[in-house]
Amino acid sequence: MSQSPNGFCMVLTTAQGACTQRIIEAVLSRALAACVQVMPIRSHYVWQGVLRDEAEDLLLIKARVDDWIALEEAIRAVHTYDIPEVLRFDIDAGAQDYLDWITRVTRKG
């Protein structure tokens, strides 16, 4: 897998209800992420042949690429979905003071 030139990423996942809080606690308590932003969304998708329309929370998780494997495992360990959406987007550039803060508060930092 290719890696971000500066070692930072944003991980996206969706969840519902109490699962959202379990994900937040799992990643922040282990210093696998610096920040988790949560936004209410509506998701439209096909699951097991049925068209779905669901209220979900979109979680944007700021982290270091070095923590990716442990971060994905932590999300999957508490997630309630059969196949959770867990996507990593590498950050090519960002405000250096913000990236420095991520480094200070995360495990590999």
Average pLDDT over the chain, rounded to whole? 94
pTM of the model: 0.91
Give the DSSP letter of residue 65. G
Span 40-65, pLDDT tens digits: 999 999 999 999 999 999 999 999 99
pLDDT of residue 2: 54
Q: Which domains are assigned to the chain?
A: 8-105 (3.30.70.120)
Of 68, 104, 73, 96, which is closest to residue 6 (Cα–Cα)?
Answer: 96
pLDDT 10s per residue in the chain (109 long)? 556 667 999 999 999 999 999 999 999 999 999 999 999 999 999 999 999 999 999 999 999 999 999 999 999 999 999 999 999 999 999 999 999 999 999 986 5
pLDDT of residue 109: 53
